[in-house]
Structure 1
């Protein structure tokens, strides 16, 4: 049970990497931008991959009527997400220590994983809704208006995950270092649960 507790502590503490590294990254490449423009999405704000990337992206978006990239104070998520991540990391570490000292059952590890997965799904759902609004709620007085073949306004929503062609831009949306650390951390908690379960079964059969 001690090994399960140690792995649980390590896995939950990996979430703290989100305070240092970006959770997500969106890159935009086009013939006129051989060096792609990009933005890194942190749990507390959005930054350009390079110094003037956000400024250049906002400049391009202005022509098609898209909103400017929000500042941290303009989205409640950027104040709530850090609290959620910190709380879940601390909770996970406490569970790991209690499992280590055999104060609670290893099943608490699975409960933490389910709760973290639920919060992660809610976060992705909220992120996708923001992308929909960002790419679809356009200024009707924009300089450039592009429509679909059926005449309906074209959506410039970046993909939530993967690659997509938007006009002459190739858009790539993928997890970044912080996101991968979070996924590894959550995977470790499943490993901890499996080890705890294995140890418990072995103990009952002895």
Structure 2
């Protein structure tokens, strides 16, 4: 159980990477831009991949009626997510320490993993809803009003995951290093639960 508990203590620490590394990355490439434009989604805000990327993306969006990208203070999520992640790190370490001293069992390890998974899914759902609103709720007085072949207004929602073609832009959305660190940490806690379960079976 000590090996499982050690993994349970170490796993949540990988979530600390979310405070320093981006969680998600969206890149926009087009022939007129030798260097693609990009934005990194952090748990506390949106940052440009390069110095002027946010300014250039907002300039492009203005022509098609999309709002400017939100500032850190414009979305409650950017204030709440750092607190939630911090609470989950502390909770995970406490569970691991209690497991080390045999105060709790492996079910608590699985419980932490399940709770973190639910919170992650909720965060992705919220992020996707924001992108839907961002890409479809357009200014009716925009300079450019483009339509689909069937006559409906064109929308510009970036993909949650993968690649899509929007006008002459190739838009790619993928997990960034922070997400991979979180994935590694959560995998470690899942492994901790499995090792704890195996240990309990041997004891029985």
TM-score, normalised with respect to structure 1: 0.98
| Paired position in structure 1 for 2:201 | 201
Ranges in structure 1 where 5+ consecutive residues have no aligned partner: none
| Paired position in structure 2 for 1:187 | 187
In the TM superposition, structure 1's runs of 4+ consecutive aligned residues that sit over 2 Å from their partners are: none
Post-superposition shift, 1:106?
Answer: 1.0
Deviations 1:84-107 (A, max 9, x none): 000001100110111111111111
Alpha-carbon distance in structure 1 between the residues aligned to 2:188 and 2:152: 47
1:30-179 to 2 correspondence within 5 Å?
30-179=30-179
Does residue 1:26 correspond to 2:37, yes or no?
no
Post-superposition shift, 1:9?
Answer: 0.9
Alpha-carbon distance in structure 1 between the residues aligned to 2:107 and 2:168: 51
Post-superposition shift, 1:34?
Answer: 1.9
Post-superposition shift, 1:77?
Answer: 0.2
Post-superposition shift, 1:192?
Answer: 0.4
State the superposition RMSD in angstroms.
Answer: 0.5
Ranges in structure 2 where 5+ consecutive residues have no aligned partner: none
Alpha-carbon distance in structure 2 between the residues aligned to 1:18 and 1:96: 20
